[in-house]
């Protein structure tokens, strides 16, 4: 019986440690730039395993150095209720679930907050454990971070091409300019790649991407200007 109590005590201590550590990590990253993410490491290992040239392009920049159109484009494309919800778009989640039950193509319903939590703290996958952790970290960043910080980390950490991560890296790699110089058309094209940035290339857009770009630009026109609390350059 004493052995069982010890095991339960260890489990409790481990749980409390992980809980406190995760909360501390989220709090620290409220202020510290995120230079590397688990996904970046995973992609490098995949490249090594497949004997490909290692490619990891990433440059952290503040949101003030990211063009306003790119912020508009990702909100229009990925999460048009970003500034209103508390991390989850319940209506879209319910819609996606109903479509899946009806046998339609499974689509994502993750908000920008959820994608940020996954990119920074977790790994790709669709297991219940990972999704549960995603919910947990989404709640934490919504609690500890501002919407401005969530957007800043999102635009710096998201995969935007094969080995390309973040706004500054994709702007330099695909458009030969800085992130703050991106045009509305370029921003919409980048946003069009986000469902599968290793398949779709904003530097060499397909007909589908051009159609998607047009749709995103139309949605951007319907959005109010998103004020992230920073003065654009």
Tens digit of each residue's pLDDT (9 = 90 or more) over 179-228: 999 999 999 999 999 989 999 999 999 999 999 999 999 999 887 667 66
Determine contact, residues 121/38, Cβ cutoff 8 Å.
yes
Instruction: Name the E strands within 53-150.
Output: 57-58
Question: For the residues of 153-219, what is the DSSP string, one character each?
Answer: HHHHHSEEETTEESHHHHHHHHHSS-GGG--HHHHHHHHHHTTSTTTS-TTS--HHHHHHHHHHHHH
This prediction has a pTM of 0.89
Does residue 154 or residue 233 have the better pLDDT? 154
- DSSP conformation class of 225: P
Q: What is the dihedral of CA 29, 171, 66, 79, to 10 degrees?
A: -80
Q: DSSP code of 181?
A: G
Give the integer Cα–Cα distance in Å for 45 and 47: 5
- For 132-161, b where at least 16 C-beta lie within 10 A, e where not — what string? ebbeebbbbbbeebebebbbbbbbbbbbbb
The string of pLDDT tens digits covering residues 40-93 is: 999 999 999 998 899 999 999 999 999 999 999 999 999 989 988 888 887 777
Structure tokens that stand for 5 in this block: 């109590």
């Amino acid at each position: 019986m004493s052995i069982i109590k010890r095991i339960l005590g260890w489990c409790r201590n481990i749980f409390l440690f992980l809980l406190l550590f995760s909360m501390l990590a989220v709090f620290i990253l409220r202020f510290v730039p995120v230079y590397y993410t688990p996904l970046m490491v995973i992609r490098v290992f995949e490249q090594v395993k497949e004997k490909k040239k290692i490619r990891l392009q990433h440059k952290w920049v503040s949101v003030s150095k990211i063009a306003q159109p790119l912020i508009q484009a990702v909100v229009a494309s990925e999460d048009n209720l970003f500034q209103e919800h508390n991390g989850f778009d319940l209506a879209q989640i319910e819609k996606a679930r109903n479509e899946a039950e009806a046998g339609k193509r499974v689509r994502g319903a993750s908000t920008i907050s959820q994608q940020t939590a996954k990119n920074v703290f977790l790994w790709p996958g669709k297991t219940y454990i990972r999704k549960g952790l995603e919910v947990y970290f989404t709640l934490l960043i919504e609690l500890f971070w501002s919407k401005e910080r969530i957007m800043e980390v999102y635009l710096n950490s998201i995969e935007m091409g094969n080995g390309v991560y973040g706004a500054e890296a994709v702007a330099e790699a695909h458009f030969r300019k800085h992130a703050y110089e991106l045009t509305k058309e370029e921003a919409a094209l980048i946003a069009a790649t986000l469902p599968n940035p290793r398949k779709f290339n904003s530097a060499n857009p397909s007909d589908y991407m051009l159609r998607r770009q047009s749709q995103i630009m139309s949605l951007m026109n319907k959005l109010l200007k998103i004020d992230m609390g920073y003065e654009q350059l």
